[in-house]
Amino acid sequence: MEYVFVATGLVCLFLGGDWLVKGAIALSAKLGLPTFLISLTVVGFGTSMPELLVSVRAAFANAPGIALGNVVGSNIANILLIIGLAAVIAPMSSTSRSSKRDLVVMLAATAMLAMMLYVGTIGFGFGIVMVVLLALYLAFAYVQDCAIGAGEIEEGLAHITPVRVGLLLVSGMGLLAIGADLLVRGATVVAADLGVSNAIIGLTVVAVGTSLPELATSIAAALKRQSDIAIGNVIGSNIFNILGILGLTALISPIPVAERFIVIDGWTMLATTAILVALLLLGRGIGRIMGALFLVLYAGYMITMA
């Protein structure tokens, strides 16, 4: 039955994330926000709602290994798996001033988390720091990007009725809450049955499962040759995963750090983030060959779980 919980939870997270993002984009379009700001905040943070709810639920369920594994695993998957797949579909690049700023913020947040891992426990104090940094970053991004002006929004989403927007938002949040509960409940029991740690389950099944909204959004953007949305989605998601999700989770319950996060996963997350930032800041972009290499690297990383 626990495997049914996991599968049902993943489906609920995927549908809930998709509906929430669509509703949020439509709402943002009516406010006249810039395209990259929407992809960074509304899309990027909206697709991270599964990670948020799963991590908070894991904290309350006394399974902090799932919470940390979820965030670290999702950030690695966002870059190697999602950007890799999107780049194979269509080469990606981003030259906007906003994306360069946010790439630096993402790298700084990732480096900060990598250093926190060595403390051994991500506690209340770290949680406060991360939440405050997220609030300051959002305020700065909003003020700076609103001067750019509104961008183009998908026609079908820009003109949906306010009632449908509300239904999408409420239904999306509801499905996310149900999916998070089922996934954590099932994954915890599955981990015990298989004799593996909560950290491994968080880094694999939970991380990939909660990244499904980012995967769907980025692939859709790649098919439409909208690389700014695909890249902004991943950047925003990774920043929110670290500063928002881990910050809020640490406020609820201290997060102990398993040894493998220090030895393998923290360094993998930092290295993949640095590679992505370097490729985009140097203007090289990510072509199909590099996208395929990202996928190979992700397969190699998953082998370390065996």
**151, burial (CB in 10 Å: exposed 0-12, middle 13-18, buried 19+):** middle
pLDDT at site 130: 96
Give the position of tokens 């626990």: 2
Angle, CA 194 vertex, CA 192 and CA 195 arms, to 5°: 65
Which amino acid does the sequence have at 94? S
Residue 151 has pLDDT above 60, yes or no: no
Residue 39 has pLDDT above 60, yes or no: no
Are the beta carbons of 233 and 100 closer than 8 angstroms?
A: no
**CA–CA gap between residue 118 and residue 306 (Å, rounded):** 24
**CA–CA gap between residue 21 and residue 44 (Å, rounded):** 9
**263, burial (CB in 10 Å: exposed 0-12, middle 13-18, buried 19+):** exposed
Say which DSSP state 298 is in: H
Are the beta carbons of 6 and 162 closer than 8 angstroms?
A: no
Taking each helix axis from N to C end, the angle separating 266-281 and 64-76, rounded to the nearest 10 degrees, works out to 30
The number of C-alpha atoms within 13 Å of 198 and in the hemisphere containing its C-beta is 24
Angle, CA 278 vertex, CA 273 and CA 283 arms, to 5°: 135
**CA–CA gap between residue 213 and residue 219 (Å, rounded):** 10
Give per-residue pLDDT as tens, 271-282: 999 999 999 888
Residue 14 has pLDDT above 60, yes or no: yes
- The SS3 assignment for 105 reads helix
- The SS3 assignment for 121 reads strand
pTM reported for the whole predicted model: 0.79
Across the strands, what pairs with 121? 256
pLDDT at site 136: 93
Least confident of 162-176, 228-242, 262-276, 291-305: 162-176
Query: Is the C-alpha dihedral spanning 186, 189, 193, 196 positive or negative?
Result: positive
- Higher pLDDT: 294 or 90? It is 294
Show Cβ contacts of residue 33 under 8 Å, excluding neighbours closer than 6 positions: 42, 145, 146, 150, 151
Least confident of 58-62, 236-240, 254-258: 58-62
Residue 260 has pLDDT above 80, yes or no: yes
**Most confident segment among 31-35, 70-74, 129-133, 224-228:** 129-133
Query: Is the C-alpha dihedral spanning 14, 300, 67, 1 positive or negative?
Result: positive
Confidence of residue 40 (pLDDT cuts 50, 70, 90): low
User: How, if at all, do strands 255-256 and 121-122 pair?
Assistant: antiparallel
pLDDT at site 79: 94
Residue 91 has pLDDT above 80, yes or no: yes
Q: Structure tokens of 94?
A: 């981003």
Least confident of 7-21, 143-157, 218-232: 143-157
CA 188 to chain centre: 21
Residue 5 has pLDDT above 70, yes or no: yes
Say which DSSP state 147 is in: T
Q: Structure tokens of 99?
A: 């994306």
Confidence of residue 109 (pLDDT cuts 50, 70, 90): very high
